[in-house]
Amino acid sequence: MPESRPFVSLATDFGAAYTAICAGVVYSIAPQANVLVLSDEITPFDIREGAMLLRQALPYLPVGVHVGIVDPGVGTPRLPVAIETGRGDVLVGPDNGLLVPAAQKLGGVVRAHALENPAYRLPEVSASFHGRDIFSPAAAHLAAGVAVTDLGSPVEPLPLDVPPPSAGGGELTVPVLYTDRFGSLVLGAERADLTAAFGDLPPGTPLDVTWTVPTPGTARVTFEETFGGVATGEPLLWIDSSGWLGLAVNQGSAAETFGLAGARTLTLRPATPHS
């Protein structure tokens, strides 16, 4: 790493204690490293949410080694990997799509290698705590100067399993990426997707939002630039700080208001007159 004191970040769904163990492993191998816990509060098992956190956050962190762990397949044949990016960062974690969106934001994937070399693992590897036994040691050794190519065989990392937005017939269907801590749904579409589907949308433009899961429903919302564009308790669509479309309730929870826990897709249409 170019910095005199290498930088390592950790983002997990482990909670504080298990993440602290991972940080301790990094420090024990690379005591000169500056270690930041980016988050230990990713929703358990939610690979999409973890991937979007890394995609959003890592461009604002120093160039370094970034560990991402949301790993419901731990102990299965899924690979542990390290991905070197165009910016110079190395992303470490499970090969389940978690790391790829962030790698794309960091200049793309330059190379990826499986974490196979036992020299860069702990002496004993458990079946259920690869964060401690594989990912953190690899990150520490990378921060100390080990080359990605020394870790194991080259691999082609798996992409994140998220469908693209789909436009046609005057509507736009978008995937739900995750629900944030405020209950806002972050959606897999950007302003350009809205413009392609509906043309320019001035603030205050009404749209109808429909869904089928968990139970069929619909809502009339307006597209706004800010939460303050609607009254407290009213819903809105807006473009968030990462450039994604979002469904929110001003000072409330869209997930609770509309019963959208577990929703995977939403469909947007131009508002039709109420009968």
The answer on 253 and 132 residing in a single domain is no
The answer on 145 and 12 residing in a single domain is yes
Work out how many domains the chain is built from and give that number. 2
- The pLDDT score that the predictor gives to residue 274 is 63
The answer on 15 and 77 residing in a single domain is yes
**Is residue 182 a part of any domain in this protein?**
yes
| Three-state helix/strand/coil letters over 188-251 | EEEHHHHHHHHCCCCCCEEEEEEECCCCCEEEEEEECCCHHHCCCCCEEEEECCCCEEEEEECC
Q: What residues have CB less than 8 Å from 135, skipping those under 6 apart?
A: 22, 67, 69, 80, 92, 93, 115
**Is residue 159 a part of any domain in this protein?**
no
Going from the first residue of the chain to its last (275 residues), give the mean pLDDT of each consecutive group of 10, the final group possibly shorter: 79 98 98 98 97 98 98 97 98 98 98 98 98 98 98 98 95 97 97 96 97 95 97 98 97 97 95 72
The answer on 136 and 12 residing in a single domain is yes
Structural domain ending residue among the three candidates 125, 150, 175: 150
- The pLDDT score that the predictor gives to residue 275 is 42
The answer on 31 and 128 residing in a single domain is yes
Q: What is the CATH number of the domain that holds 126?
A: 3.40.50.10790
The answer on 172 and 143 residing in a single domain is no
Structural domain ending residue among the three candidates 124, 150, 176: 150
The answer on 178 and 88 residing in a single domain is no
Domain extent for 177: 166-270
